[in-house]
Amino acid sequence: MAKTLDGRTALVTGSTSGIGLAIALRFAQEGAKVMLNGFGQPEDIAKARATVGAAMGVAEAPYSPADMSRPDEIRAMVQACQAALGGCDILVNNAGIQHVSPVEDFPDDKWDRIIAINLVSNFHAIKAALPGMKAKGWGRIINVASAHGLVASPFKTAYVAAKHGVLGLTKSVALEVARSGVTCNAICPGFVRTPLAEAQVKPLAEKHGVSEEVALTDHLLDRQPTKKWVEVEEIAEAAMFLVGANSGSINGAPISVDGGWIAQ
């Protein structure tokens, strides 16, 4: 049976775990050829490649170890994707890191890395992949931003600044590509059950002297009205919608998947 993404090629950054892995797997299950990227233990990367590869009908999905803080490696990754898969029709800029600290104590190197990995990498990947998409007359760029691209929280200055920047980049690129068959959108998740977010629960429990359960519902998810994690499959579903058959008129949009967070 024909699948929605048969014949499509995709590159998902930061896809060795969490949201990126769920998106890569979903795209592969829908027929796309997918290249993975990201860090991790060799056995975890091998497992991700095998899982996504199985959905593609191969032993292992292609993988780039490119560091998203390095423009030269980002350019080489896009070229490697085009060489390995025959194109890069869909680009998902997903790799990201977090650091939580009062602004006056925020380490300079952490600020620089968050801006580089969460924002600047998106620019370099889009710049490298867009000419191929335009030449084909079809392309989909999805930037995984955050609810923190639309509203702020204290102690996350670099992350909030980067994610607000991602939405600005998304809108500007969307205007540039509007007549080319390419779209550029952002997904804005609330708190999603992944290693990046789960790592924030324990420090909150210690800070407030409460159990991890209370730290989750009353502190981390204080502004997520559902009081539940968003699941990675729900983000993958939103990504799937944006690359599906009838999404060509969605362009420059922040798609919230946040349990109602920014409705407040």
User: What are the residues binding ligand NAD (CB under 6 A)?
Assistant: 14-20, 37-40, 67-69, 94-97, 117-118, 144, 146, 189, 191-192, 194-197
Cβ proximity to ligand NAD, 17 vs 251, nearer residue: 17
Minimum separation from the CB atom of position 207 to ligand NAD (A) = 18
**Tokens representing 259?**
């349990």
The yes-or-no answer on residue 159 being catalytic is yes
Sorted by sequence, the CB contacts under 8 Å of residue 143 that are 6+ apart come out as 92, 93, 122, 166, 167, 169, 170, 184, 185, 186, 187
Among residues 27, 63, 159, 229, the one annotated as catalytic is 159
Buried residues in 179-191 as b, exposed as e (16+ CB within 10 A) = eeebbbbbbbbbb
CB 119 within 8 A of CB 167: no
Cβ proximity to ligand NAD, 137 vs 195, nearer residue: 195
Minimum separation from the CB atom of position 206 to ligand NAD (A) = 20
Query: What is each CA distance from 248 to 66, 178, 179, 239, 244, in whole angstroms?
Result: 30, 10, 11, 13, 8
Residue 141 backbone dihedrals phi, psi, to 5 degrees: -110, 125
Distance in angstroms (rounded) separating the CA atoms of residues 52 and 193:
20
> What one-character-per-residue DSSP string does 167-234 give?
HHHHHHHHHHHTTTTEEEEEEEE-SBSSHHHHTTHHHHHHHHT--HHHIIIIIITTT-TT-SPBPHHH
Query: What is each CA distance from 3 to 89, 240, 242, in whole angstroms?
Result: 16, 12, 15
Cβ proximity to ligand NAD, 139 vs 191, nearer residue: 191
Minimum separation from the CB atom of position 1 to ligand NAD (A) = 30
Minimum separation from the CB atom of position 196 to ligand NAD (A) = 3
Cβ proximity to ligand NAD, 98 vs 180, nearer residue: 98
Counting every residue, how long is the chain? 264
Minimum separation from the CB atom of position 92 to ligand NAD (A) = 10
CB 144 within 8 A of CB 194: no
Minimum separation from the CB atom of position 60 to ligand NAD (A) = 16
- The residues assigned a catalytic role are 159
